[in-house]
Amino acid sequence: MTTVQTSAHTIKQLYTFLVEEGLTEQAEKVLDIYEKDIEQTFVIGFAGHFSAGKSSLINYLAGTDVLPSSPIPTSANIVRLQKGEEMAVAYNQEKRPIAKEASRDLDRLQALCKDNRQIASLSIYKSDVHFPENIMFIDTPGVDSTDDMDRTITEGSLHIVDHLYYVVDYNHVQSEVNSSFLTELENQGISYTLVINQMDKHQEEEVTFDDFSSSVREWLTGYELHPQHIFYTSMHQEHLNRLEGNTLLNEDVQERISERNGKNHIQSVLKECDQALRHKYDIDAYEAELEAYSTSSLEEAGERIEAIKHNFMEKKNSLEEQYKKRVRGFLKNAYITPAVLRDDAQQYLESTQPNFKKGLIFTKDKTEEERKRRRDVFYENLSATLEKNLEWPLRDRMRELADTHSLTDEHLEKRIQQFHVQVPEQLLEDVIATGANVTGEYVLRYMDELSKDILKLYQQETEDIYKQMKEQLDAQQENELALLGDEEEELNEKQRVEEQLNGQKEKWEEKRKLLYRVHDGEIEQDEQQAEAALAARKETDFENDLELEYDQRLQKEEQPEESGGGPSGSKTEIRRKAEEVLPVLQDYEFLESYARSIKEKLSRVDHQQFTVALFGAFSAGKSSFINALLGGDYLPTSPNPTTASINRVVPPEDNHPNETATVHFLTEKELIESFDFLDVSGPEEILRTNTDELETRKRTMVQAFQNGYEELKGHIGSRLEVSQKEFVTYVRDESHSVFVKAIDFYVDSVYAREGITFVDTPGADSVNDRHTDVSFGYIKEADAILFLTYYNHAFTKADAGFLRQLGRVKDSFAVDKMFFIINASDLAQSEEDLQSVRSYIESQLTFYGIRNPRMHAVSSLKARQGEKEESNLPAFERDFRTFIHEDLQAMVFQSVHSDLEETVEVTSQLLDFAAGNEEEQKRQLDKWGEEERRISEILLEEKGKKEAPAVGQKVDKQFHYLEERQILQVSDFFKEEINPGYIQGEKSEIKPQLVRALDRLLNRYEKELLDEVRAISLRMESFVGDLLRERSRKTVEQVKAVTDSRPFKEEKEEVSVETPSFTVEIEETAEDLDISLQRYSSAKQLFEGNRKEELREEVKEQLPGIFGKVLTPVEESFAEYYKEAYLDAVSELMDRYEEKVKEYYRKLRNNGEDAVSTEELQELKEKLTSSI
């Protein structure tokens, strides 16, 4: 019997066994292997992130265009390619064929490839492919696609792959997605080759191939990745292919790889079956439940019970002994009858004698008054004596007893604190002996009797408190014993679980033995089931009119290249008119302030500085794009991440010549804060940190610090002037840039001469979280935002966080200041391809709330090579310059135009005044005085309003919707952090993985909340501005009811409010969540059925409480802060208006009294009118 026949026999036996055991998923995989085995197919898989060129590479190897290729995702399901009769067969999730079509229509094929809801896989047969019939290529979805299903589909096809070619984009080799997926291949023992595609992007003058390939090998070594080969390929320029002396389908490679065929495939599925059987018999669940129980034995519990009883008996004895000594003993010897009190007692006793009387006349009333006075004096002094001599000491002694014996009951503590005995006043009379004469001896006897009765009252109260102390000790003992009672019950339950586990383990072991005996041929199974199942796969249920869910032809009208613009010529015309009338205005004192205002505004325009911030994932070409704009190779470019700090390209200054730089280093405090994940207090601790246990991003950062500290420690907290060559090192080398806060690089260019500073930020996927935080700060401050994405890797997950934030705050911008650049447009094979990328990006932007974007497709490479028109860069520059010099400055020129209009108005008023007679002029002067008074009253009243309910309501709504949005996003965030890519394995592996995943989820939410609060701060600043402008408008309306004049105008400019300081920190960790992770015994169990959804709902239920704890203090501080900011802005505005009112009417009065001639004013008015 041949190896293949033996293997086929074994596989069919296994299939029947697995079906009967209910392991259908593994049975289907075994059937896949059987089908592959009998057809003697050698399977080569292709995986990688989307748009890396997998489909293009397959087409290249096949020697024909068989698969659709595109710079946007194309394959959303498994696509198989084999040599054979021309056709394409679509299979559903049950692996039954549902559609058969001609394979010549590439558009239809692409639509089939993208529909992963109806179609699980697609088999394409071509007669003219350049490989044998027994070879099968498998194309998989991109592992970094935004669709979570794609990675699951890819990983679910690995069981039949003999060798995998992992294809990556030249610009995105060293990404987290790649290292994560390749590490999983290593763990599964799958052989693979790394294919670095699109080598046509390589620029030897930027980085040599040797340096590039060396950095790739260092990256692989760092992650302990061991591909069989590394191929460097280009589908567009074959001369750039570097295959290390091999070809992709070299026969000796195929022969070595094929050793995994058959036997190794079955072995991998057997391991999976073993775990599936464990899951079937709940082994992991029982073991997890067992681990949750206490490990104490019943004997240990008994000993602990006796120890507790003994401990409390000693406490009770000690309490009794101390009470007798400290309280009873004190009361027994208490002295409460000092001499002064005995005198009061004698006075009182004498007043009780029958013959006691006061005065000679009206004696009865006077006598009763005196008796009452003496009684009150005695009682008050007695009470004061008791408080000092009894209550204070007793209170201290009882508090000491409670503290010594750990009696912390709130009611007991309160009772001791408020200890007081109310001695009845009647007692003073009750202890008087009938008929006794008041002598010194009797007074002593009376005080002795009174003391005994009083001490009895105190004895009763203290005994009652003592009883309460003993009861609390009893309660403490009962609680501790009750805990042990639970433990004893748990131990009994544990024994029951152990018995169940042992029973299930016996069943599991029995099935495992059967599994391997079937595999070894010791037990015969029916082989017909496998044959029948395979035949069922071949049965056709074709739906040639299959209606696809995805229509790959995006029906979108092409956007015009230039989408921006402003009012053409308006700025130039206003400037010309303003400069024309300035000399005229300066000749008249009553127009001089307008002349100053216009000159200041024109000067502001002439000297205005603009900040333009560039964002995008690493290798989107930001540095290359800036170089193209500046017309030289100023910033370092590379296919690996280069910008590891904030770099500002600024105009040169007298003390900062062209092509020099100033490096701003972090202070020691800022450095330590950037390593907050280490919990360190100084650089020395960072140097001693062992990086082995750190996750990759944090490890890279710590190692960079350790490598650069010795060289740069002297520069911490300082500035350093460097040359262009040194600047490159501080930009590119993380061991330098980790110490850098920002770098100012001085470059002379046409943009520098226009006052424009470019800020090149680290990628959104930078390894240092500090970079992303600093980059987001530029969203608020920048005058323009340029977001760059790469043509054939448009929109990655790394971009999502930034675009989500941009979508949150876009409405707070006074003008739309965002530009979206598709770089490397020269890679497009056709205008149709370019348009498909534009449409794809636009749809993604719409998802994040960014509509009608300014979008330009450019080629910075062509621009730098001198082909500027072909690069489409000039179209962007025209749009960009229009925005900078027209849109951003429009408000200033509107203000200049308004000033010119006001000069005409003031001149008209003075002309009217000059034309009147003396009486009319006097009435006009009185009228102006009355207007000024009434307007001042309006302004004073407005300034006095100290309520701003709209601010508090706005803040309340913002935080309410924030929480709603975040809770609604739990499904998206949850599946990104808790998925089979992170959670794998069985038993003890699952809990720590879940803890880490939940911690990542909480960290994700902390960052989201931080970004949301930042966005609220921008929206509130904008809202305060809106409120102020509305307040200004209403004030102007009130003034209009007083006068037709315009002593001041509506506030139009933006309001600057400093962002308040706030802290957003989720203190909870996964361990703090009220979730029992013990019940999730394996990854398979978690992701089967609804278990993942159950966990998600548990997390979701706890989010409002977590969010409330974090956000409530921030919300309260925001409400107060922005209310004060608004009221301060109103006060400042009213003060400015008041000054303008005084100045306005002063000019009218002065120039009215010293009037310019009517003729001159008429001539002036005509000149001014013609200028606006």
The answer to whether residue 696 scores a pLDDT higher than 80 is no
Q: In degrees, to the nearest 5, what angle opens at C-alpha 750 toward C-alphas 748 and 755?
A: 80
In 3D space, the residue among 643, 648, 683, 641 whose CA is nearest the CA of residue 663 turns out to be 648
Rounded CA-CA distance 274/985 in Å is 12
890-915 and 1158-1170 helices, crossing angle to 10°: 160
pLDDT of residue 990: 76
pLDDT band at 992 (very low <50, low <70, confident <90, very high): confident
What 8-state DSSP symbol labels residue 559? P
pLDDT of residue 1118: 94
What one-letter code names the amino acid at 15?
Y
pLDDT of residue 11: 80
pLDDT of residue 712: 94
pLDDT of residue 867: 87
pLDDT of residue 116: 57
pLDDT of residue 888: 80
Give the N- to C-terminal CA distance of the chain in Å, as an integer. 102
What 8-state DSSP symbol labels residue 767? S
What 8-state DSSP symbol labels residue 150? H
The answer to whether residue 311 scores a pLDDT higher than 80 is yes
The predicted-structure confidence for 939-952, as pLDDT tens digits, reads as follows 999 988 888 888 99
pLDDT of residue 795: 67
The predicted-structure confidence for 127-168, as pLDDT tens digits, reads as follows 888 878 888 888 877 665 444 444 455 556 777 888 888 888
User: Alpha-carbon dihedral of residues 342, 347, 350, 355, nearest 10 degrees?
Assistant: 170
Q: Which residues fall within 8 angstroms of residue 942, CB to CB, at 6 or more apart?
A: 1031, 1035, 1130, 1134
Q: Are 815 and 887 in contact (CB under 8 A)?
A: yes
pLDDT of residue 300: 66
CA quadruple 631, 632, 636, 641: dihedral sign = positive
285-294 CB burial, b ≥16 within 10 A, e <16: bbbbbeeebe
pLDDT of residue 748: 94
3-class SS of residue 544: coil
pLDDT of residue 1035: 92
pLDDT of residue 249: 58
pLDDT of residue 525: 77
pLDDT of residue 374: 92
Beta strand pairing status for 97-101 and 229-232? unpaired
The answer to whether residue 3 scores a pLDDT higher than 60 is no
The predicted-structure confidence for 17-48, as pLDDT tens digits, reads as follows 888 888 888 888 888 888 888 888 888 888 88
Beta strand pairing status for 78-83 and 121-126? parallel
Per-residue pLDDT averaged across 250-264, rounded?
Answer: 50
Could you tell me the CA-to-CA distances from 514 to 505, 524, 704 in Å, in that order? 14, 11, 54
pLDDT band at 955 (very low <50, low <70, confident <90, very high): very high
The predicted-structure confidence for 864-879, as pLDDT tens digits, reads as follows 888 888 899 999 999 9
In 3D space, the residue among 222, 120, 209, 210 whose CA is nearest the CA of residue 179 turns out to be 222
pLDDT of residue 457: 92
pLDDT band at 569 (very low <50, low <70, confident <90, very high): very low
Among 259-268, 542-551, 1082-1091, 1101-1110, name the one with the lowest average pLDDT: 542-551
pLDDT band at 1126 (very low <50, low <70, confident <90, very high): very high
Q: What percent of the chain has pLDDT over 70?
A: 81
Q: Are 141 and 153 in contact (CB under 8 A)?
A: yes
Q: Are 605 and 889 in contact (CB under 8 A)?
A: yes
CA quadruple 41, 42, 47, 50: dihedral sign = negative
pLDDT band at 102 (very low <50, low <70, confident <90, very high): low
The answer to whether residue 550 scores a pLDDT higher than 50 is no
The sheet with strand 818-823 has its strands ordered as: 719-723, 660-665, 740-746, 646-650, 756-760, 610-615, 784-790, 818-823, 854-857
The answer to whether residue 547 scores a pLDDT higher than 70 is no
pLDDT of residue 127: 81
- Structure-model confidence comparison of residues 454 and 1083, the more confident one: 454
- Structure-model confidence comparison of residues 1053 and 862, the more confident one: 862
Which domains does the chain carry?
41-249 (3.40.50.300), 298-492 (no CATH), 609-651+747-888 (3.40.50.300), 666-744 (no CATH), 893-1170 (no CATH)
CA 716 remoteness from chain centre:
29
pLDDT of residue 172: 73
Q: Are 875 and 855 in contact (CB under 8 A)?
A: no
pLDDT band at 244 (very low <50, low <70, confident <90, very high): very low
The answer to whether residue 51 scores a pLDDT higher than 80 is no
The predicted-structure confidence for 623-666, as pLDDT tens digits, reads as follows 889 999 998 888 887 554 544 568 899 999 989 999 999 999 99
The predicted-structure confidence for 323-357, as pLDDT tens digits, reads as follows 999 999 998 888 888 888 989 989 999 888 888 88
Q: Can you spell out the DSSP letters for 107-134?
A: HHHHHHHH-TTT-SEEEEEETT-SS-TT
Q: What percent of the chain has pLDDT over 90?
A: 19
Output the average pLDDT for the chain. Answer: 80
3-class SS of residue 717: coil
- Structure-model confidence comparison of residues 173 and 938, the more confident one: 938
The answer to whether residue 774 scores a pLDDT higher than 70 is no
pLDDT of residue 154: 57
pLDDT of residue 245: 39
The answer to whether residue 551 scores a pLDDT higher than 70 is no
pLDDT band at 7 (very low <50, low <70, confident <90, very high): low
531-557 CB burial, b ≥16 within 10 A, e <16: eebbeeeeeeeeeeebebeeebeeeee
Rounded CA-CA distance 356/271 in Å is 112
3-class SS of residue 42: strand
pLDDT band at 686 (very low <50, low <70, confident <90, very high): very high
The answer to whether residue 907 scores a pLDDT higher than 60 is yes
pLDDT of residue 541: 58
3-class SS of residue 857: strand
pLDDT band at 478 (very low <50, low <70, confident <90, very high): confident
Rounded CA-CA distance 1087/269 in Å is 18
pLDDT band at 86 (very low <50, low <70, confident <90, very high): confident
Rounded CA-CA distance 757/780 in Å is 15
Rounded CA-CA distance 608/887 in Å is 14
The predicted-structure confidence for 413-435, as pLDDT tens digits, reads as follows 889 989 999 999 999 989 898 88
